[in-house]
């Protein structure tokens, strides 16, 4: 499968966003299927130390989260070849021989669309470990844990154990708030409750595995209660990740305000300390703010390009 790369944005020393076309469905309705994918660095690390690739699992997304620009315009599921074509476009442009020397080569299924909605992601994961010569390969699945996708997660667990044991796989659940009603507003789709996420995490985590990540992009007006998390999740198997909410067009349109100010990390101090007091390891993840200037947040360019085209 060859994607037609329509545009690239950004800079090689920080992040490059690709927008590509996979054409229109064979039955044809005039709707072009667009994909976004990204390669990024995390200064001061160079590409030989850490290289992060982020691919789309869906054409758009059926979930219309108010802080994400990828949702509300779902146009189907890419095939495994479509997903691998995104990776090949980035890998082979840098390393034509397929040999990726990065000490940490992270492949995130976290751009447009929740990967649990597309079984082709599992096919990709089964073949990815042998596709490139990349000893630092570490796949990452980021998901809201949609209800009814238990079979996907059961198979994902089998794949992790077979191909990516010993801490070479990262699983991340998007939580954002501990209030179930507020969480339904932020993630308007049927999904696992926190109890169900906790139960799966107990099945997932083996000795030597990475801790399961519980991700919060704290938003003003959406409560986060470390006590409630401690009652539900084992700090020995789960890690808390705190990150600023991405400055998307959709978030601005819904008047959502991030609790964490990327220019002032101390704005997260009360949450960091609250979780640490409960025994959790806490990752305060504030990326290079130059990425906001690039606009490398989920779905922004595909949405703008679709409107222009």
Give the model confidence (pLDDT) of 87-136 as tens digits.
Answer: 999 999 999 999 999 999 999 998 899 999 999 999 999 999 999 999 99
- Average pLDDT taken over every residue of the chain: 91
pTM: 0.92
Question: Would the pLDDT of 240 be above 80?
Answer: yes
Contact in structure between 71 and 48 (CB atoms under 8 Å): no
Distance of CA 132 to the CA centre of its chain: 21
| Band of pLDDT at residue 291, cut at 50, 70 and 90 | low
Q: Specify the pLDDT at position 145.
A: 97
Question: Would the pLDDT of 308 be above 60?
Answer: no
Which residues on adjacent β-strands are paired with residue 133?
99
DSSP class of residue 56 equals -
Q: What are the tokens at 160?
A: 């992790």
Rounded CA Rg of the chain: 19
Please state the rounded mean pLDDT for residues 236-244.
Answer: 97
Give the model confidence (pLDDT) of 75-84 as tens digits.
Answer: 899 999 999 9
Question: Would the pLDDT of 293 be above 80?
Answer: no
Domains, in order of start, for the chain: 4-308 (3.20.20.70)
Phi, psi of 196 (to 5 degrees): -70, -40
Q: Residue 108 to residues 23, 57, 69, 112: CA-CA distances in angstroms?
A: 24, 10, 18, 11
| Band of pLDDT at residue 248, cut at 50, 70 and 90 | confident
Give the model confidence (pLDDT) of 192-206 as tens digits.
Answer: 999 999 999 999 999
| Band of pLDDT at residue 276, cut at 50, 70 and 90 | very high
Phi, psi of 144 (to 5 degrees): -95, 0
Give the model confidence (pLDDT) of 199-231 as tens digits.
Answer: 999 999 999 999 999 999 999 999 999 999 999
Taken in order 183, 188, 194, 197, the sign of the CA dihedral is negative
Contact in structure between 144 and 189 (CB atoms under 8 Å): yes
Minimum mean pLDDT range among 5-14, 109-118, 131-140, 178-187? 5-14
| Band of pLDDT at residue 237, cut at 50, 70 and 90 | very high
In whole angstroms, give the CA distance from residue 274 to residue 292.
28
HSE-up of 143 (CA within 13 Å, CB side)?
24
Question: Would the pLDDT of 143 be above 60?
Answer: yes
In whole angstroms, give the CA distance from residue 106 to residue 53.
6
Angle formed by the axes of helices 150-163 and 120-128, to 10°? 0
In whole angstroms, give the CA distance from residue 248 to residue 227.
30
Q: Specify the pLDDT at position 211.
A: 98
Which residues on adjacent β-strands are paired with residue 212?
238
Please state the rounded mean pLDDT for residues 170-191.
Answer: 97
Please state the rounded mean pLDDT for residues 244-264.
Answer: 91
């Amino acid at each position: 499968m060859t994607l037609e790369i329509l545009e690239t944005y950004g800079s090689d020393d920080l992040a490059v966003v690709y927008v590509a076309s996979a054409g229109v469905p064979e039955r044809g309705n005039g709707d072009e299927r667009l994909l976004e994918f990204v390669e990024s660095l995390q200064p001061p690390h160079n590409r030989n130390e850490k290289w992060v690739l982020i691919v789309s699992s869906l054409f758009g997304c059926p979930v219309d989260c108010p802080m994400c620009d990828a949702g509300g315009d779902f146009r189907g599921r890419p095939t495994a070849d479509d997903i691998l074509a995104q990776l090949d476009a980035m890998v082979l442009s840098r390393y034509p021989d397929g040999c990726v020397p990065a000490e940490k080569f992270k492949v995130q299924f976290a751009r447009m669309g929740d990967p649990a909605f597309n079984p082709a992601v599992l096919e990709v994961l089964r073949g990815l470990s042998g596709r490139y010569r990349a000893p630092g390969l570490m796949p990452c699945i980021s998901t809201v844990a949609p209800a009814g996708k238990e079979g996907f997660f059961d198979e994902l667990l089998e794949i992790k154990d077979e191909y990516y044991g010993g801490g070479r796989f990262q699983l991340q659940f998007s939580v954002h708030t501990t209030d179930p009603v507020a969480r339904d507003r932020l993630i308007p789709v049927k999904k696992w409750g926190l109890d169900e996420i906790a139960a799966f995490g107990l099945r997932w985590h083996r000795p030597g595995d990475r801790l399961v990540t519980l991700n919060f992009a704290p938003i003003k007006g959406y409560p986060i209660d470390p006590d409630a998390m401690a009652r539900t999740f084992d700090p020995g198997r789960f890690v808390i990740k705190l990150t600023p909410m991405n400055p998307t067009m959709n978030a601005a349109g819904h008047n959502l305000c991030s609790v964490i100010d990327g220019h002032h990390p101390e704005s997260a101090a009360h949450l960091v300390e609250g979780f640490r007091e409960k025994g959790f390891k806490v990752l305060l993840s504030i990326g290079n703010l130059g990425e906001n200037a690039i606009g490398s947040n989920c779905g922004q360019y595909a949405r703008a390009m679709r409107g222009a085209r």
